[in-house]
Chain A
C-alpha cells in the first residue's frame, strides 16, 4: 500500500512540474500520442490572472488551421492559446474544459467542429467521469462494443496515473532524444521543431483523385453520436454557467470532402449545425462568414494550408474581436 502511495505521489508530483512538461513537450512530435502531454502543458501554461484568454479548441483542423497571432493582435492584452488535439471531438473538449476550469475558468472558447469529430471514436487519455456520464445519459453505453468499453475502462485507469496517460508520447519523446541522449540528459532544449502541417506542401492531385467519392469510415463511430452531442450540450451549458463567450466554427473543408463521408455522418453534422444556428447562447461561424477559400487553401480535404490558415485566422480574429467589443 505504501508502495502504491509512493508511486502515486511521485507520479503526480513529477508531472505537475511545468519545467519537465515543457522540456518533454519541446521534443515531443505532434500527433495523437503527444496530445495528452501537450494539452496538459497547454492548460498549465494558461495565465491564472489577467484578462480572460482566448482558447482555440477542437481537432487538428483547429491546431493546424488557426493561428493565435491575429487574435492577440486584434485583442491586445488578451492571451490566446491553441489547444486543438488530433481528431478532438466534443467528448475530448469536455475533458479538456474540466482541466481548463481549474486554471482559467474565465475565457473565450472558440470551438471548431467538422463532420467526422461528431462521430469520432473515444480516446483513452481523454476519458473521465464526465465521458462516462455522456455515454450513460444517451443510452450509448448499450451500443458500445466490448473493445470500446475496455477503452473507457483503460481511459479511467489512465486518469489515475499521468505516466500511464503520457506513456505513448513518452516513447515518441524517447525516439526523438535517443540520437543525442547527452543533450537530453543535460536538459538542453533544442529549437522548437517545425510542427505544423501548414508548413508542408499540399497533397498532390492524385491524392484527391484517389479519395473523391470513396467513403472513408476510418475513426468513425456513429454509435457515439449521441454521446458527442451530449458532451457538446454539457460543454455549452458549462461555459454559459461560467459566463464565457462561445464561438463555434463550422470548420471549412475542401470541396468534395463530403463525398468521402458516411451519409449518416454528414446528416448528423448538418442536423447539429442547424440546431446550433438556432441558439442564442453562442455565435456560430460558418462558410458565409469566412473569406472564400480555394483548393489552394487546403493541404488535404480538411486541413488548411499556410494561405488558408492565414485567411481563416484573420477573419475569425476579427469576428471574435468584434464580439468582445475591441
Chain B
C-alpha cells in the first residue's frame, strides 16, 4: 500500500474517524492494528520478523533499565544491537557479502561454491532497525525512560506513516507522543493536510515524471554524451529529492492530522553551500542518527584531525552501505566521506553559510556560486548512486566533469524536465527566501484558493497515478 495510491487514502479514511473518537489507549490499539495491516499489505510473512524484533527490543530495553551496573546494561545493549544488525545483515547484506567474497575468490582462481540464497528484503527493515537501536542506546544513556507498556513501544516501531521509509525518529521525540493523550486540532490537521498534499504533488507530478527522463538516460538510451549525462543527473537529483521528501511530507502530514509531530527530514538541500551543509539538510534523520550513534561513539572530532577524518570516512561509508547492498553505494558513501574530509581540511564549518548571512550583492552572488558548485558535486554523487552498475561509472563521471554539458543538454527533454522542476523550484524559493515552510498558508485567501485550484489541475493532468513505488522503500 503506497502513499500515492487510492488504497492508502481509503485505508486512512477508515482509520481517521475511528481514531478521532477514541481515547489514547484505544487510539494506540487502533493505530497499531492499522500499522500491522499496512505492513501486511506489503508482505504479511515479514510481520513475524517485525513482531520478533519489537518484542525483543521491548524486553531488552526494560532489562537495561533494571540493571544496576553499566557493564550489565552494556551486555543487553550489545545483545540488542547484535540481534538488530544480525536481522538487517542477513536480510539485506548476506547475498552481497557472499557474492563479493565469491567473486574475489573466483578472481584468485578458487571455486568458492558459495550458496546464494533467494532472500527477499523486508520493506522498511533499515528504518525500523535503526529506530529500535536508537531506542536501546537512548535507554542505556538514560536519555529516555524505557517503555513500560509494550503497546506504546510496538506503536513507536510500527507507526504506519513512517515505518517503511522514515523519518528515523529518536525515541525521546516520538515515544512520549505515544504515551500522552493527543487531541488533534483543526489548524494542525489543516497544516498536516497541506503538507501531505504538497508531498503527494512532489511525488506524482515531479518525481514520477522526472523518473521517465532519468530512467531513459541511465539505461543509456542517449549514450554517454556529456549533455545527456548532465540532464540525467539533473533529472535524478530532483526525482530522488521529490520522491523522498514527498514521502516524508506525506508521512509528516498524515501523522500531524492525527496529532503526532514527526521530524523534518529535508531542509532545502539544494540550497546547500557545501557538502557539510548538504548533509545537514538532506535525510536529516539518517545523518543525525549516524552522527549520534556512529560518528560520536567512534570518537567524533575529539581525538585530532586524523581520527576525525577516519571517523567521517567510516561514517559516510557505512551510511552509503545502509542505502543498499551494492558496491555503488559503498563508492557513493566513500565519495561523500572524501568530500567531507576535504571540506573540513579546507575550511570546516566556515563553508556552511546561509543567504541571509551575506552582506551586499557580491556576498549574495558568491553564495549563489557556492550553491551551484555544491549542486554540481551532489549531482556527481547521484550519478554514482543511480548508475545501473559500476561498469559505466567511469565514463559517466568523466563526462559529467565536462562542465559545458550543462549547456548541451538535449533541448526537448531538457525543456520537459524544466517544466516539471519549475513548480518545485518556485515553491522551494518561496519557502527558503520567505524563511517559512508553510508560507502558502500566509498568502491572502483568494491567492491561496487560486494557487490550490491551479495546483489541482496540474496535479490531475501531470500526475502519474501508476503506483510507482518510492525509491527509498528498497533501502
Contacts and interface: CB of A to CB of B under 8 A. Distances in A.
Q: Do A and B come from one complex?
A: yes
Interface of A: 2-7, 10-11, 150, 153-154, 157, 161, 163-164, 167, 170
Interface string B434-467: 0000000000011011111100110011000000
Given A150-B7, A153-B10, A163 B460 contact: yes
B419 to A, nearest CB: 12
A7 B457 contact: yes
Contact of B453 (A3, A153, A167): A3
A3 B457 contact: no
Nearest to B10: A153
Contacts, number: 42
B213 to A, nearest CB: 16
Given A2-B449, A7-B452, A10-B453, A150 B6 contact: yes
A74 to B, nearest CB: 44
Given A6-B453, A10-B453, A161 B460 contact: yes
B460 A3 contact: no
A11 B458 CA distance: 12
Contacts of A154: 6
Nearest to A174: B461
In this complex, the member of A3, A150, A167 whose beta carbon has the largest number of chain B beta carbons within 10 angstroms is A3
B457 A6 contact: no
8 contacts: A2-B446, A6-B449, A150-B7, A153-B10, A163-B457, A163-B461, A164-B460, A167-B460
Interface in B373-430: none
Nearest to A162: B460
Contacts of A4: 452-453, 456
Contact of B445 (A2, A163, A167): A2
B415 to A, nearest CB: 11
Interface of B: 5-7, 10, 445-446, 448-453, 456-457, 460-461
A3 B449 CA distance: 4
Contacts of B7: 150
Nearest to A153: B6
Nearest to B41: A146
Q: Decide if the interface of chain B is mainly helix, strand, loop or mixed.
A: helix
B423 to A, nearest CB: 16
A200 to B, nearest CB: 30
B72 to A, nearest CB: 50
B432 to A, nearest CB: 23
In this complex, the member of B7, B10, B456 whose beta carbon has the largest number of chain A beta carbons within 10 angstroms is B456
A3 B448 contact: yes
Given A150-B6, A163-B460, A167-B460, 17 more contacts: A2-B445, A2-B446, A2-B448, A3-B452, A3-B453, A4-B452, A4-B456, A6-B450, A6-B453, A7-B452, A7-B453, A7-B456, A153-B10, A163-B457, A163-B461, A164-B460, A170-B461
Contacts of B449: 2-3, 5-6
Contacts of B446: 2
A167 B205 CA distance: 14
A11 B5 CA distance: 23
Contacts of A157: 6
B428 to A, nearest CB: 21
Nearest to B452: A3
Contacts of A153: 6, 10
A3 B451 contact: yes
Nearest to A9: B453
B212 to A, nearest CB: 13
B217 to A, nearest CB: 20
A2 to B, nearest CB: 4
Contacts of A2: 445-446, 448-449, 452
Contacts of A11: 457
Nearest to B190: A1
Nearest to B5: A150
A167 B456 contact: no
B192 to A, nearest CB: 16
A170 B463 CA distance: 13
B268 to A, nearest CB: 25
Contacts of A163: 457, 460-461
Contacts of A167: 460-461
Nearest to A158: B460
Contacts of A6: 449-450, 452-453
Contacts of B448: 2-3
A161 B461 CA distance: 11
B448 to A, nearest CB: 7
B78 to A, nearest CB: 44
A11 B453 CA distance: 9
Nearest to B445: A2
In this complex, the member of B10, B449, B450, B451 whose beta carbon has the largest number of chain A beta carbons within 10 angstroms is B449
A150 B456 CA distance: 21
Contacts of B460: 161, 163-164, 167
B456 A3 contact: yes
A154 B453 CA distance: 20
A164 B452 CA distance: 16
A134 B451 CA distance: 39
Nearest to B446: A2
